[in-house]
């Protein structure tokens, strides 16, 4: 029996909505709806651009783009399920990519570059967690400050120039160029991160505590959970995902740049919301978040194939986010 199970009857009842029970069944229904939406988008692509959409190169392009944002989305799912939010993910990915591609770092080889990117992302995530958990800052403000500072530091380090990955460090680029069963290695890295995230959220004590902290922090504290420490770890995990995503974006673009990850926080948060994770915390699903991400990625791909500009893409994404939140609120009212 877990700490939550032992202490819940004596204090406020935990509101956490884990993977089982009624919310689990609702999640399964939502997943089917997201799959249906993906099928509908595929039909639209086949009708509007049959000569381009269904090609192997286009499908690989969709998966490659989804891989980079998808790793960040996994971390964002944990943070939002735990009752927080992280606006700094795009900037942290840019900072990690710039730090890892400086001439000094590259001189030590590709392994050190990868470790550097992961450590920079995790370290910045830890700083977010310290400010929020122990400094008692509002997550929105703390991560907004980190977003601005991280982007500025990346610009300062790179002198606002794009830094190329040197040929001696081609191992990183090979994550994008080397294919196994027709897919680049970075897609498999993404799949491993998703699998790890699903296992941790659904099959470990850490995952159960994440639901508990997000659902009712006070009840979680009375149940014996160190809420501040757990919050710190959630933001460190988000930073870790940003570091991994930085490696993938370096592989895809062969560069480190302060412009990497622009508005990735929007895509990640939107994917998480569309996937069924509550903005208030206590309920979340990795599979739903990834399906939401694929929907966004396919929509972006359809816009590009049909020659629509970036402004139209942003308007459509904003409308989808608003619709998802409204539907989420409506479903919560229906349940109560």
For the chain, state the CA radius of gyration.
Answer: 20
pLDDT, tens digit (0-9, with 9 covering 90-100), for 187-205: 999 999 999 999 999 999 9
Give the model's pLDDT for residue 296. 85
Give the model's pLDDT for residue 87. 95
Name the DSSP letter for residue 204.
S
Give the model's pLDDT for residue 326. 76
Question: What's the rounded Cα separation, in Å, for the pair 208 and 204?
Answer: 7
Lowest mean pLDDT among 16-30, 33-47, 153-167, 177-191: 16-30
Is residue 21 classed as helix, strand or coil in its secondary structure? helix
Give the helix ranges, DSSP H, for the chain. 3-7, 21-48, 56-81, 89-100, 103-106, 110-129, 139-158, 170-177, 185-203, 205-215, 217-222, 227-253, 264-274, 286-305, 310-335
* Strand 183-184 to 179-180 pairing: antiparallel
Q: Average pLDDT, stretch 56-65?
A: 89
Give the model's pLDDT for residue 4. 46
Q: What value does the mean pLDDT of the chain take?
A: 86
């Amino acid at each position: 029996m877990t700490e939550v199970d032992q202490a819940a009857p004596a204090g406020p009842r935990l509101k956490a909505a884990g993977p089982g029970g009624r919310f689990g069944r609702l999640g399964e229904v939502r997943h089917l709806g997201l799959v249906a939406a993906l099928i509908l988008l595929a039909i639209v692509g086949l009708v509007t651009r049959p000569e381009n959409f269904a090609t192997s190169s286009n499908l690989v392009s969709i998966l490659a783009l989804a891989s980079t944002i998808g790793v960040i989305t996994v971390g964002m799912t944990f943070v939002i399920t735990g009752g927080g939010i992280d606006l700094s993910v795009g900037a942290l990915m840019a900072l990690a990519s710039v730090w890892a591609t400086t001439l000094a770092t590259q001189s030590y080889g590709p392994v050190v570059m990868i470790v550097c990117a992961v450590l920079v992302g995790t370290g910045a995530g830890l700083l977010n967690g310290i400010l929020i958990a122990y400094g008692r800052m509002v997550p929105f403000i703390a991560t907004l400050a980190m977003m601005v500072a991280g982007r500025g530091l990346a610009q300062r380090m790179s002198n606002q120039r794009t830094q190329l990955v040197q040929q001696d460090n081609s191992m990183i680029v090979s994550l994008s160029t080397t294919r196994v069963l027709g897919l680049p290695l970075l897609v498999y890295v993404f799949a491993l991160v998703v699998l790890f995230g699903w296992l941790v959220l659904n099959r470990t004590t850490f995952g159960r505590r994440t639901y508990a902290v997000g659902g009712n922090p006070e009840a979680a504290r009375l149940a014996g959970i160190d809420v501040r420490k757990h919050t710190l770890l959630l933001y460190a995990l988000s930073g870790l995902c940003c570091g991994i995503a930085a490696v993938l974006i370096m592989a895809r673009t062969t560069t480190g740049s302060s412009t990497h990850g622009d508005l990735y926080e929007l895509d990640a948060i939107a994917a998480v919301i569309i996937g069924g994770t509550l903005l208030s915390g206590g309920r979340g699903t990795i599979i739903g978040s990834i399906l939401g991400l694929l929907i966004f990625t396919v929509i972006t791909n359809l816009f590009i194939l049909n020659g629509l500009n970036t402004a139209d893409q942003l308007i459509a994404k904003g409308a989808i986010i608003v619709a998802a939140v409204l539907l989420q609120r409506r479903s919560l009212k229906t349940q109560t």
